[in-house]
Amino acid sequence: MKKSDLKKIIKEELVNELTYHQFKTDDSSPNYRKINTSINEMNSLMFKIERIAGQAARLKTEDGISNDRLWKSTRGKITRIAERLLKVAKKVRDIGS
């Protein structure tokens, strides 16, 4: 799979961006259904993220690529992604409580 193909797939799967106000005032479905749909969508997206992360980790391990071979910007992005995942995990816990 080419890098451009992977980018296309990721772009196609991006969530339609709505503002909170648009999301809240949308009368097409009740609020509980919006929350349930959002959770289902998060679950689907997390599956895809887990798959991409797993494939990258497996390739890195199999090829024996060390962290110093990664671009400096990539190492920074890995840290920021980890921080963002912690924030998302907190928000998901807040939804569940």
pLDDT tens, residue by residue, 26-47: 788 888 988 888 888 899 999 9
- In sequence order, which residues have a C-beta less than 8 Å from that of residue 78 and are 6 or more positions away? 70
Distance CA 18, CA 53 (A): 27
pLDDT band, residue 9 (cuts 50/70/90)? low
Which residue type does 86 have?
Answer: L
Answer whether 29's CB lies under 8 Å from 37's CB. Answer: yes
Task: Give the residue carrying structure tokens 């992604």.
Answer: 81
DSSP state of 59: H
Answer whether 95's CB lies under 8 Å from 35's CB. Answer: yes
Q: pTM of the predicted model, to two decimals?
A: 0.71
pLDDT band, residue 14 (cuts 50/70/90)? very low
